[in-house]
């Protein structure tokens, strides 16, 4: 089993709707998670980090962590065409900061 | 603004001709990372430095070397590039919260 798994998509979302992205993880990762956005041909950009159970909101983004079910999700409210990108879920795997990335979910927001 | 800088942004080299990619940071982070990312794949960790302590991943080819002469700078040397080494090379840094910040990347083409 891969340590961090995401659906590759593409996830097609109408403009203005909520995009829901999911990520599951194995016991071998720690309990700190990160969501990155990556536009085609660009480098990953940190959107949010989440370390404890529950929800964390930042603008139109909400990260949710459920340790019992071993998943972390990202909600994008009021999706805009500029949100079209690949979203990478990453989990901290040891104390010095190594991240295990998922393969990424491509999101396409259609006008 | 504090940032991670990579040079050059685009590098073309010939098969077997050594190439050096550079990374600098103004975030004063003690951990620096080098990743390789190929199209539609997650970033693949090659090395990391915790201060001057060097760590390479078990599957990083010997063809790849790295140097970190001081806190701000880190270099990736590819001694004999092959066609399979064509990729985006990403430098990242992190501090105590383990949030990784990426530079813009260097796109390497091998002819």
Calculate what percentage of chain B has a pLDDT beyond 70.
98
- Whether A78 shows a pLDDT value over 90: the answer reads yes
- Whether A1 shows a pLDDT value over 70: the answer reads no
* Chain B contact for A99 (CB, 8 A cutoff): yes
Residues of B with CB under 8 A from a CB of A: 31, 33, 41-43, 45, 48, 50, 55, 88, 90, 94, 97-105, 107
Contact B33, A101 (CB under 8 A): no
B3-54 tens-digit pLDDT: 999 999 999 999 999 999 999 999 999 999 999 999 999 999 999 999 989 9
Q: What pLDDT score does A95 carry?
A: 82
Q: What pLDDT score does B59 carry?
A: 93
Q: Nearest chain A Cα to B49, which residue?
A: A96
Q: What pLDDT score does A2 carry?
A: 66
From the list B48, B104, B67, B111, the residue with the least C-alpha distance to B85 is: B111
Contact yes or no for B100 and A96 at CB 8 A: no
- Whether A94 shows a pLDDT value over 90: the answer reads no
In chain A, residues with a C-beta closer than 8 Å to the C-beta of B55 are 96
A6-59 tens-digit pLDDT: 988 899 999 999 999 999 998 777 789 999 999 999 999 999 999 999 999 999
Average pLDDT, chain B: 95
Q: What would the mean pLDDT of A65-82 be, rounded to a whole number?
A: 95
Q: What pLDDT score does B91 carry?
A: 98
From the list A63, A88, A82, A75, the residue with the least C-alpha distance to A15 is: A82
- Whether B104 shows a pLDDT value over 70: the answer reads yes
Half-sphere exposure of A50 (CA within 13 A, CB side): 25
A44 to chain B, closest Cα gap in Å: 6
Calculate what percentage of chain B has a pLDDT beyond 90.
94
Please write down the HEC assignment for all residues of B53-105.
Answer: EEEECCCCCCCEEEECCCCCEEEEEECCCCHHHCEEEEEEEECCCCCEEECCC
- Whether A70 shows a pLDDT value over 70: the answer reads yes
Q: Nearest chain A Cα to B39, which residue?
A: A41
Q: What pLDDT score does A10 carry?
A: 95
């Amino acid at each position: 089993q891969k340590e961090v798994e995401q659906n590759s998509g593409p996830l097609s979302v109408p403009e203005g709707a909520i995009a829901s992205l999911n990520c599951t993880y194995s016991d071998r990762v720690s309990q700190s998670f990160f969501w990155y956005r990556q536009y085609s041909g660009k480098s990953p950009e940190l959107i949010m980090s989440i370390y404890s159970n529950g929800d964390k909101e930042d603008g139109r983004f909400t990260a949710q962590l459920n340790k019992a079910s071993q998943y972390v999700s990202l909600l994008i409210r009021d999706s805009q065409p500029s949100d079209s990108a690949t979203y990478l879920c990453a989990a901290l795997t040891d104390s010095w900061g190594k991240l295990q990335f998922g393969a990424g979910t491509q999101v396409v927001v259609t006008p | 603004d504090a940032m991670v800088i990579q040079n050059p942004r685009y590098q073309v080299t010939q098969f077997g001709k050594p190439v050096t990619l550079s990374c600098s940071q103004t975030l004063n982070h003690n951990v620096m990372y080098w990743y390789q990312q190929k199209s539609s794949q997650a970033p693949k960790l090659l090395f990391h430095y915790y201060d001057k302590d060097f760590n390479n991943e078990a599957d990083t080819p010997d063809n790849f070397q790295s140097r970190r002469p001081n806190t701000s700078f880190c270099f990736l040397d590819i001694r004999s590039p092959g066609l399979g080494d064509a990729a985006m090379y990403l430098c990242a840094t992190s501090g105590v919260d383990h949030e990784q910040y990426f530079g813009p990347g260097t796109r390497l083409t091998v002819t």
